[in-house]
Amino acid sequence: MPTVLEKSARRFATETPLGRTRRARKIHRILTEVYPHARCELDYETPFQLLIATVLSAQTTDVRVNSITPALFAAYPEPADLAAADPARVEEIVRPTGFYRAKAANIIGLAQVLVDQHAGEVPPQLEALVRLPGVGRKTAHVVLGNAFDVPGLTVDTHFGRLVRRFGWTREEDPVKVEQAIGELFPAKDWTMLSHRLIFHGRRICHARRPACGACPVAQLCPSFGTGEPDPVKAARLLRYEMAPVE
Ligand code: SF4
């Protein structure tokens, strides 16, 4: 007897590239309805604050980052303030986000580069952003998409996992994932698609126990059955990132 997962995979085994594009866009339409408030879950008011918060969000939750950034931004409102900061004081503030020594060094270092090379402003270009300490493509796209309205795909752990489960791509390398998914959707959709996939990954399609039976795109997913297929049991797995993960 084939498993639920095997049956799901078979349904899409002969899908054409056009069929995959149509299915991808249909999934996106459903997620748009399910997550009308999808957005960047980091709190920020300026591009500089978003850049700092995104660097701090590596290996931790947005909730935890949001718990310390008010104190950080009050103490160091501008890049020049952070560039001249005492590292020990910054480490103390960012400590709850983990890897606090490296993160403190990165955010002080990037503030110094902003002051020295960019007149104290966050540059709105991918190439310039990825040259800042602690900033990779993912962080750069978060900043570009949310602070500057420059479309970008944010290939984080949720995004990568979901697009592979959806059968949109088999690529593992984030840059190749970005290219493959970029071909399925118009650029204007990239930033919000990223938010919606990340919302779905945090709330329903979890890494270890996806709540398949409670998933609004189950009918369109070749990985249905990876997690709990029973609707009642799956409903108990739904999770919302309301509290930091200990
Ligand atoms: S929860 Fe299950 S059905 Fe829904 S997207 Fe994830 S793997 Fe597919």
- pLDDT tens profile 107-148: 999 999 999 999 999 999 999 999 999 999 999 999 999 999
- The answer to whether the CB of 227 is under 6 A from ligand 1 is yes
CATH number reported for the structural domain that contains residue 92 in this entry: 1.10.340.30
Q: Is residue 86 annotated as a catalytic residue, yes or no?
A: no
Last residue of a domain, one of 147, 174, 200: 147
Out of 157, 163, 165, give the residue to mutate to test ligand 1, the one with the largest number of ligand atoms within 8 Å of its CB: 165
Q: Position of tokens 């945090």? A: 202
For residue range 100-109, what is the model confidence (pLDDT) as tens digits?
A: 999 999 999 9
| Residue 40 belongs to some domain of the structure | no
The sign of the torsion formed by the CA atoms of 149, 150, 153, 158 equals negative
Structural domains counted in the chain = 2
| Residue 84 belongs to some domain of the structure | yes
CA distances from residue 172 to 10, 137, 156, 165, 184 in whole angstroms, order as listed:
22, 15, 11, 12, 17
Q: Find all residues with CB under 8 Å of 1, minimum gap 6, and list them.
A: none
Last residue of a domain, one of 98, 125, 147: 147
Strands (E) located in 134-201? none
- CA 220 to ligand 1 center in whole angstroms: 9
Task: Give yes or no for residue 27 having a pLDDT over 80.
Answer: yes
Last residue of a domain, one of 94, 117, 147: 147
DSSP secondary-structure letter at 245? -
Same domain? For 8 and 90 the reply is: no
Nearest CA to ligand 1 atom 2: 212
Residue 120 falls in which region: left (phi positive, over 0), alpha (psi -120 to 50) or beta: left
Q: Find all residues with CB under 8 Å of 202, minimum gap 6, and list them.
A: 158, 239, 240, 241
| Residue 56 belongs to some domain of the structure | yes
CATH number reported for the structural domain that contains residue 212 in this entry: 1.10.1670.10
- CA 237 to ligand 1 center in whole angstroms: 12
| Residue 41 belongs to some domain of the structure | no
Dig out the tokens for 73 from the structure: 């931004």
- The answer to whether the CB of 222 is under 6 A from ligand 1 is no
| Residue 52 belongs to some domain of the structure | yes
Task: Give yes or no for residue 241 having a pLDDT over 60.
Answer: no
Same domain? For 60 and 142 the reply is: yes
Residues 35-42 have a mean pLDDT of 94
Q: Is residue 156 annotated as a catalytic residue, yes or no?
A: yes
Q: How confident is the model at residue 71 (pLDDT cuts 50, 70, 90)?
A: very high
Q: Position of tokens 């088999």? A: 170
Task: Give yes or no for residue 242 having a pLDDT over 60.
Answer: no
Enclosing domain of residue 200? 4-34+153-235
Long-range contacts from 13-16, C-beta under 8 angstroms, 24+ separation: 15/167
Same domain? For 134 and 69 the reply is: yes
Same domain? For 105 and 190 the reply is: no
